[in-house]
Homo-oligomer: A and B are copies of this chain.
Amino acid sequence: MTHSAIRDMRAEIGAANEHFMAEFATGDSARIAACYTADGALLPPGSEMLTGHDAIAAFWRGAVGMGIASARLETQEVAPGDSSATEIGRYTLLAADGSTIDHGKYIVLWKRADDGSLKLHRDIWNSSVAPAST
C-alpha cells in the first residue's frame, strides 16, 4: 500500500473516531453501538468478549451509568489491511466535569461496512493506571 493510501486510511480513521466521540458524548448507548459492525465485538477488561450491538450497547450503557460522560481517542499508528485496518491508540475517559476517570491504550480492528463507512469490528483496551496496592 502506498504512503498516500496509508495517509488516507489514517485520516478516515480519524474522522470515524471523531464520529465515535460525538456519539459517545450523547450518552445514547444504541448510537455508540451503531459505530460497530453488526457482528462487532468488545474485548473489555474483566469480562469475556461481548459480541453484537445489543451486548455492546449494554456495556456502554453501564459505562455511561458509572459516570463516563465522554471519551477522547488519539490515533498513534495505523496498519492497513484488506478492507480493514488496525489502529493503535490512546484513550482518556472523562467525567461530566472534565476530570479524567481513566486513561490507557487500545487496538481497534476497523472494517468497511456494506454502506462504505468504517466501523469498529474488534475493540480491546486496558488502563495504563496501575491498580492501587492492597
Q: Which residue of B lies closest to A41 (CB)?
A: B88
Q: Is the interface of A mostly helix, strand, loop or mixed?
A: strand
A130–B79 contact, CB under 8 A? no
Q: How many copies does the complex hold?
A: 2
Q: Which residue of B lies closest to A130 (CB)?
A: B46
Q: A88-B122, A107-B43, A107-B122 are in contact. Are A128 and B81 (CB under 8 A)?
A: no
A4 interfacial by beta-carbon distance below 8 Å: no
Number of interface residues of A (CB under 8 A): 31
Most buried by B among A82, A126, A128: A126
Q: Jot down 6 A-B pairs with beta carbons below 8 A, ordered by A.
A: A43-B107, A43-B126, A47-B130, A86-B109, A124-B124, A134-B134
Which residues of chain A (51-70) have a CB below 8 Å from chain B? Answer: none
B86–A126 contact, CB under 8 A? no
Chain A 64-108 interface mask (CB, 8 Å, partner B; 1/0): 000000000000010111101110100000000000000001110
A132 to chain B, nearest CB (A): 9
A24 to chain B, nearest CB (A): 20
A127 interfacial by beta-carbon distance below 8 Å: yes
